[in-house]
Amino acid sequence: MKSRRHFLTAATLLAGGALGGSPDLLAQLKRADVDPDFVVKNGRIRQSIMGWCFQDHFNAVELAHHCKAIGLVAMEGIPVKAYPEVRKLGLEISLVGSHGFAKGPCDPKYRDESVAILKKSIATAAEFGCKNVITFTGMRFEGMDDEKAARDCVEAWKSVLPEAEKAGITLVLEHLNSRDDTHPMKGHPGYFGDDVDFCADLIHQVGSPNFKLLFDIYHVSVMNGDIIRRIRQYQDIIGHYHTAGNPGRAELDDTQEINYPPILEAILETGYSGFVAQEFIPTWDDPVLALRQAAQLCDI
């Protein structure tokens, strides 16, 4: 049941709106559906957070305390030096970073570097009890042959998989959209793995249970759509999920087009028990309230 404070806040906003509310007031009214005291109760979705999205507001440890208070169970996209303190708070590390999306194994120039960083990330994941390490295809380059680039990716990933399999670590390949050019983290023009069906094909070519798909709901929405059907189609190879609103990669509120509750139900219906990480860039004046709203929406 939502708190009395929540209902009073909504009533106050409604009263203000009746007097001819400003755009800011109307935005606040949309947020009135957020229980300011909400804490995750159901926990059917194991919620995590991608730390880089909130780096302009909090350092990793400050953000960890907010996550703990809301009831999230994990973090990712934070500096490795913060891992011990985050683990001490009882939060898991849901995903370890690696070589980044710009310098991936599709480009022979970055192949050895990508492999070396992946091996280091596998060791870090094993040290901190994390089961997933992220990987990317990398960016297109001048004179690129798509078929050769795909083979180079597959061969590079196969070269590190014995270490991942031995450590019980899964590499998760992220599909990214190449359409949005408005912000360096809202879209990635030139990214090779910008089609989720193509990424799924690469995963099948690798052919290891320790190599799976990072299904970013926002990026799939931008590039492919048909989200629930694809979740069902690729359920056997999905190892991780990311969220964000579309358009804009902002909050999961009613300003965006993705309807998250049925998507999350579809995820649960597949038997998925891994993490779903909140990876939206907060635009609200109160970023913690924005995170609480996302956690509330996803606690189905």
The CATH code of the domain that includes 157 is 3.20.20.150
At 4 the pLDDT is 46
Same domain, 246 and 282: yes
pLDDT digits (tens, 9 = 90+) for 135-151: 999 999 999 999 999 99
Same domain, 30 and 49: no
At 1 the pLDDT is 47
Indicate if the pLDDT at residue 3 is higher than 50. no
Same domain, 68 and 110: yes
Same domain, 15 and 163: no
Indicate if the pLDDT at residue 11 is higher than 70. no
pLDDT digits (tens, 9 = 90+) for 87-134: 999 999 999 999 999 999 999 999 999 999 999 999 999 999 999 999
At 33 the pLDDT is 83
Same domain, 115 and 264: yes
Contacts of 290 (CB under 8 A, 6+ apart): 251, 280, 282, 283, 284
Q: What is the mean predicted confidence (pLDDT) over 269-276?
A: 98
pLDDT level of residue 2 (50, 70, 90 thresholds): very low
Q: What is the mean predicted confidence (pLDDT) over 240-266?
A: 96
Token pair belonging to 222: 């931008």
Q: What is the mean predicted confidence (pLDDT) over 16-28?
A: 53
Same domain, 21 and 120: no
Same domain, 12 and 161: no
Same domain, 242 and 124: yes
Same domain, 10 and 132: no
Q: What is the mean predicted confidence (pLDDT) over 218-222?
A: 98
At 18 the pLDDT is 45
pLDDT digits (tens, 9 = 90+) for 37-90: 999 999 999 999 999 999 999 999 999 999 999 999 999 999 999 999 999 999
- What's the chain's average pLDDT? 92
Indicate if the pLDDT at residue 274 is higher than 60. yes
At 28 the pLDDT is 58
Number of structural domains, the chain? 2
- Encode the chain in three state secondary structure: CCCHHHHHHHHHHHHHHHCCCCHHHHHHHHHCCCCCCCCCCCCCCEEEEEHHHHCCCCCHHHHHHHHHHHCCCEEECCCHHHHHHHHHCCCEEEEECCCCCCCCCCCHHHHHHHHHHHHHHHHHHHHCCCCEEEECCCECCCCCCHHHHHHHHHHHHHHHHHHHHHHCCEEEEECCCCCCCCCCCCCCCCECCCCHHHHHHHHHHHCCCCEEEEEEHHHHHHHCCCHHHHHHHCHHHEEEEEECCCCCCCCCCCCCCCCHHHHHHHHHHCCCCCEEEECCCCCCCCHHHHHHHHHHHHCC
Domain of residue 218, residue span: 39-298
Same domain, 210 and 220: yes
Same domain, 25 and 109: no
Indicate if the pLDDT at residue 22 is higher than 60. no
At 88 the pLDDT is 98
43: left (phi over 0), alpha (psi -120 to 50) or beta: left
Indicate if the pLDDT at residue 242 is higher than 80. yes
Q: How many CB atoms lie within 10 A of CB 176?
A: 26
Same domain, 88 and 26: no
